[in-house]
Amino acid sequence: QGGGSAVIDMENMDDTSGSSFEDMGEMHQRMKEEEEEEAEGEAGAGEEEDGEFLGMKGLRGQLGRQVADQMWQVGKRQASRAFSLYANIDILRPYFDVEPVQVRARLLESMIPVKMINFPQKIAGELYGPLMLVFTLVAILLHGMKTSDTIIREGTLMGTAIGTCFGYWLGVSSFMYFLAYLCNAQITMVQMLSLLGYGLFGHCVTLFVTYNIHFHSLFYIFWLVVGGLSTLRMVAVLVSRTVGHTQRLILCGTLAALHMLFLLYLHFAYHKVVEGILDTLEGPNMPPFQRVARDVPVVSNAVLNTTAKAIALTL
């Protein structure tokens, strides 16, 4: 009996020890699982942080690509505009596509006033003739300044002449077009430029003759006849394209006054104004530099005389 009880106690001890080992294994497994869960949680948090960082980095890269694409598109458009210069010139070609015979005929027509004003008169829609007349007027002004003994300094004279002629042509044409729009006149900007440009033919003839033949009476004759005929031509064309007596009076009176006064300005006041501008910009004319003999001081003369006497005595 005693041996049987000892065997039973050993079996009980073995059972308790096995269960304790199992409990230790379960605890170790649970701790391992908890460590793995914590590691997975930390890894997930790290991945989330990396994802956020990569997302910001990706957003910045996307913005950079968009800015680069926009800059590329802008540069491409500018390059295309630069390379399409021929196409832009091709747009202006119809305004300069004219034969020399047609230009000559229009120059003569600019001195002949039209008689029929009951229907709109035709206006040439080209700019070659007016542009050449403006350059011709510039050359005549330069010739007049040279014959009047005006000193040319550093190209200022040519710039002033170009600014005056082109300023009048473009400025007065724009003003008259605006006034024609207010007065309901049927005329476009190109037609106004052509009309006023061909009207400068009388100015060119008058100034070319009177700059070479200096008689005030001759100038007044040319001013009334030649300048008056070209002005009457423009006035008659505008009258034929304007409805209403008040509108015609305002439009044509303004154009006639500006055109005739501009010719008076070019003949009488232009030279003085240019000389005043030159004096203001570069100062008045200075006399040329001259060499002037300087007086030798008395002390130097005495030193020279003493030196000469000493040399003579030694010799």
In the chain, the amino acid numbered 16 is T
CA distances from 252 to 76, 79, 171, 177, 230 (A): 49, 46, 17, 12, 13
Ordered mean pLDDT values, 10 residues apiece, the chain (315 residues) = 45 46 60 70 54 56 76 75 62 83 91 82 88 93 74 65 92 94 90 93 92 86 93 92 90 94 88 71 48 43 56 54
Q: What is the CA radius of gyration of the chain?
A: 49
Q: Are 202 and 164 in contact (CB under 8 A)?
A: no
pLDDT score of 72: 80
Whole-number Cα distances in Å, 65 to 75, 138, 243: 15, 54, 61
Would you call 187 helix, strand, or coil by DSSP?
coil
pLDDT at 14: 43
pLDDT confidence of residue 278: 66
Whether the CB-CB separation of 185 and 241 falls below 8 Å is answered with yes
Q: What is the pLDDT of residue 302?
A: 55
Count other Cβ atoms within 10 Å, centred on residue 85.
9
Give the pLDDT of residue 190.
92
pLDDT of residue 309: 59
Q: Which residues contact 138 (CB under 8 A, 6 or more apart)?
A: 158, 161, 162, 165
Q: Do residues 251 and 193 touch, judged by C-beta distance below 8 A?
A: no
Please give the pLDDT value at position 261.
Answer: 94
Residue of 125, 232, 133, 138 lying closest to 187 (CA atoms): 125
| Count of Cβ atoms closer than 10 Å to residue 225 Cβ | 14
- At 195, which amino acid appears? L
CA-CA distance, 148 to 295, in Å (whole number)? 41
C-alpha to C-alpha distance for 186 and 160, rounded to whole angstroms: 34
pLDDT of residue 211: 86
